[in-house]
Amino acid sequence: MPLTADTHVRLARPSRDLAAAERFWADGLGLDVLYRSTADGPGEHDLVMLGRPGAGWHLELVGGAQLAVAPRPTAEDLFVLYLDGPVDDELAGRLERAGGTRVSAGPYWDRWGLTFADPDGYRLVLCTRTWSND
């Protein structure tokens, strides 16, 4: 089956503390918890999936005692949301209260939005621009 515009996307990341990460992404950003599970056997992970019901994407965070790889985010690990307008001050405040840290992502992203590091250090960019395929 070929890739199409309707192909579902999952972005999976390890997390040191799923509860802290969930607070940032759900309480801070406002994503819905789509699914949650606890490892109940060897080779399984605790996980939480966040996103919007019916959307073609979701963010999966894995953690727990069986986690084989610790988070290793870099300055280039960006999750960018194109908002098509200014970032609401209340949203920025919620992200900080939920454990996010405001950071610089370089001149381009600093010009076009706000960047926050989640509790594991992965970066969320709230871009004021409109997404364009052009």
Q: Residue 37's domain is classified under what CATH number?
A: 3.10.180.10
Domain count, the chain: 2
Please tell me the pTM assigned to this model: 0.91
**Tens-place pLDDT, residues 12-37:** 999 999 999 999 999 999 999 999 99
Please indicate, yes or no, whether residues 13 and 56 belong to a single structural domain of this protein: yes
CATH of the domain at 100: 3.30.720
Please indicate, yes or no, whether residues 98 and 121 belong to a single structural domain of this protein: yes
Q: Using alpha carbons only, what angle is made at residue 128 by residues 125 and 130, rounded to the nearest 5 degrees? A: 105
Q: Which residue range(s) make up the domain with 43?
A: 9-63
Confidence band for 134, pLDDT divided at 50, 70 and 90: low
Please indicate, yes or no, whether residues 83 and 59 belong to a single structural domain of this protein: no
pLDDT of residue 60: 96
Does residue 71 belong to any structural domain of this protein? no
Residue 64 in tokens: 């727990």
Does residue 90 belong to any structural domain of this protein? yes
Does residue 103 belong to any structural domain of this protein? yes
Please indicate, yes or no, whether residues 14 and 59 belong to a single structural domain of this protein: yes
Please indicate, yes or no, whether residues 84 and 56 belong to a single structural domain of this protein: no
With CA atoms as reference, report the closest residue to 59 among 118, 134, 116, 114. 118
Does residue 2 belong to any structural domain of this protein? no
Does residue 70 belong to any structural domain of this protein? no
**Tens-place pLDDT, residues 80-96:** 999 999 999 999 999 99
Give the position of tokens 């939480």. 48
